[in-house]
Amino acid sequence: MNADISEETQPATASRGFALLLNILDVQVDTPLEIIPGHTLRRPSGSELNRIIPALDAFGTALPYRMFFECLPGSGGTARRSDNPEDWRYWVIEIGADHCGAVNEGLVGLQEAARLTPIELDCGVQFYGDAKWTLHSLKGANPFQKLIFHATPQTLDEVAVSQIQEVYKGIRALSPDFKPIKRAIGTYYRLLAIHRDYPLYTLGVFSVIESLLTHHPEGGYDSLGHQIKTKMGLLDRRFREPLTTSQFGKCSFETLWSKLYDFRSRIAHGRDSDFGNKDQVLRNMRTVADFLDSAAKALLRHALIEPELIRDLQDC
């Protein structure tokens, strides 16, 4: 494909950098939109596409990565490439700065906030100054390899944008008295460097939950597993949306957390998972990771609303 694409009606400000969103999105809000201060969601201009497409092609696979952004879903799970740039699903975040450090600081804040919502925005490929492109992704040397071809686009609507903005403001407003919450948010964000199907990811998410809810046990009724299941039970009744557990059948909430903690302990001590027997109710590693993700997100979001409660829960 010839990458020489004509300018569109939203040219980039010459002095500003931008990041390519590595998400396949169905954007249902008016753009350009300042999603957080100094960071504007919009379609790329023609000159920006002329920088983006070579960056995608530079990773050189049999299936060009730009196909993820330029294909439309067809019938029967097929897809076809559109020749109309208006159909393409390239989206960028324009940044009101052109220094690498300033660009990265703002984008990390945006991604940390989005990590606690259903739409985990990934700004891993950035462009600033005269540089061709630079990687700031937690997903390894090739951040594109996790794109799912034919994947149904995620809907970025007003509700999704409001969630990201609310979390971002909550993180920024967090008092220095609650450093453990801020640390846990940063740790959870950095877990994106680990594939969700790896046992290490499950251990990492558990460590985030434990870091906010548990203290050193002082007896049999104070074990880490007991602390987590009782405190998550209490919090689940305070979350805006209770955790969904239907994927685990009729397993009760407390029993589920007991099984999850036993599962976590076996992994930590080098044992294999046993989804055909002991861990059957947990189904598989992805189901476990997805549930723990939903629990960690809910916990961290609530920690921004009631940080004193989270601090007190850890001590009791």
Other C-beta atoms lying within 10 Å of the C-beta of residue 32: 12
DSSP bridge partners of 81: 71
- Domain membership of residue 32 (yes or no) is yes
Q: Looking at the structure, do residues 305 and 180 belong to the same domain, yes or no?
A: yes
How confident is the model at residue 1, as a pLDDT? 42
Helix (H, G, I), strand (E, B), or coil: what is residue 75? helix
**Is 232 within 8 Å of 214 (Cβ atoms)?**
no
How confident is the model at residue 14, as a pLDDT? 46
Q: Looking at the structure, do residues 22 and 149 belong to the same domain, yes or no?
A: yes
CA atoms within 13 Å, Cβ hemisphere of 145: 12
- Domain membership of residue 289 (yes or no) is yes
- Domain membership of residue 165 (yes or no) is no
Q: Looking at the structure, do residues 145 and 260 belong to the same domain, yes or no?
A: no
Burial 151-168 (b: 16+ CB within 10 A, else e): eeebebeeebbebbbbbb
DSSP bridge partners of 183: none
Q: Looking at the structure, do residues 263 and 302 belong to the same domain, yes or no?
A: yes
Which of 127, 159, 191 finishes a domain? 159
Q: Looking at the structure, do residues 118 and 181 belong to the same domain, yes or no?
A: no
Q: Looking at the structure, do residues 22 and 136 belong to the same domain, yes or no?
A: yes
- Domain membership of residue 10 (yes or no) is no
Q: Looking at the structure, do residues 31 and 70 belong to the same domain, yes or no?
A: yes
CA atoms within 13 Å, Cβ hemisphere of 152: 3
Q: Looking at the structure, do residues 22 and 139 belong to the same domain, yes or no?
A: yes
Q: Looking at the structure, do residues 228 and 103 belong to the same domain, yes or no?
A: no
- Domain membership of residue 3 (yes or no) is no
How confident is the model at residue 204, as a pLDDT? 97
Nearest to 136 by CA among 176, 106, 168: 106
How confident is the model at residue 9, as a pLDDT? 39
pLDDT in tens, the chain (316 residues): 444 454 443 444 444 789 999 999 999 999 999 999 999 999 999 999 999 988 888 876 666 788 889 988 765 567 788 999 899 999 999 987 655 555 567 899 999 999 999 999 999 888 887 766 676 666 665 666 666 554 678 999 999 999 999 999 999 999 999 999 999 999 999 999 898 889 999 999 999 999 999 998 876 667 888 999 999 999 999 999 999 999 999 999 999 999 999 999 999 999 988 898 888 999 999 999 999 999 999 999 999 999 999 999 998 8
Q: Looking at the structure, do residues 241 and 309 belong to the same domain, yes or no?
A: yes
Beta 134-135 vs 125-127: how paired, if at all?
A: antiparallel
Which of 159, 190, 213 finishes a domain? 159
How confident is the model at residue 129, as a pLDDT? 74
How confident is the model at residue 278, as a pLDDT? 84
Q: Looking at the structure, do residues 195 and 221 belong to the same domain, yes or no?
A: yes
Count of domains for the chain: 2
- Domain membership of residue 54 (yes or no) is yes
Residues 135 and 141: their CA atoms lie apart, in Å, by 8
Q: Looking at the structure, do residues 125 and 29 belong to the same domain, yes or no?
A: yes
Which of 159, 189, 223 finishes a domain? 159
Residues 257 and 291: their CA atoms lie apart, in Å, by 11
How confident is the model at residue 62, as a pLDDT? 60
User: Which domain range does residue 213 map to?
Assistant: 176-315
How confident is the model at residue 66, as a pLDDT? 85
How confident is the model at residue 217, as a pLDDT? 82
**Is 244 within 8 Å of 250 (Cβ atoms)?**
no
- Domain membership of residue 170 (yes or no) is no
- Domain membership of residue 168 (yes or no) is no
